[in-house]
Amino acid sequence: TPLSSLLLGHFGIGLVGLFGIFLAGRKLGKAYETIERQAAIDALTEIPNRQSFSDTMEREFKRSQRERAPLSIIMCDIDHFKEYNDSYGHSNGDLCLKKVAQAIRSSLKRAGDFCARYGGEEFIVLLPNTSTDGARHVAERMRLKVEEMGIAHKESLPAQIVTISLGVATSKDTATMVSIEDLTKYADVALYKAKEQGRNQVQ
């Protein structure tokens, strides 16, 4: 009957409409995922960015306080990077940053370990439930990985290759745990000490 045809027609249009909404919803969901990923990842090095580190650090710091477990961070800096850029150009500088970032990331073995670009030529690593000795071991592995790439850097003496300096700090399993800001500052002070004492080393 005409009424049945009309109802079927409307039902068909409704189904097409629902399918369209479903597809649009999926596309929108994927777009949001892309935006979220871009907000958390450093575009150049393809590792997490500073904001992503801050969010992860806050979460892990609270967890380490709850569980009374040590939390270590490593701050590292590419030695004489300004001179590298001046000598080899910014496109090579960008490539160098990418390679160092990937070397740092590949040095991390556990799922919970986290690295990010902290800014410029500086990187930061978060090691939950890790003692000072454990963090020093990871930092030394990172230092060696970068050194072993053998990226030429004529201005970086005495090695004349790209190297990194690293500072380690640990929030110990004690009743009076330091703040996030203090822990970051201690790692920064240790990094400065590594640079002061000749670079390409862990402090």
How far apart CA 138 and CA 132 sit, in angstroms, is: 10
How far apart CA 118 and CA 127 sit, in angstroms, is: 15
Q: How far is CA 84 from the centre of its chain?
A: 22
How far apart CA 162 and CA 37 sit, in angstroms, is: 30
Residue in the block written with tokens 């790439």: 149
How far apart CA 28 and CA 110 sit, in angstroms, is: 33
Active-site annotation, residues:
121
Closest CA to 190 of 135, 108, 116: 135
How far apart CA 122 and CA 101 sit, in angstroms, is: 10
Closest CA to 194 of 168, 155, 158, 171: 168
Amino acid identity for residue 188 in this structure: D
How far apart CA 78 and CA 35 sit, in angstroms, is: 29
- For residue 177, give the DSSP letter: P
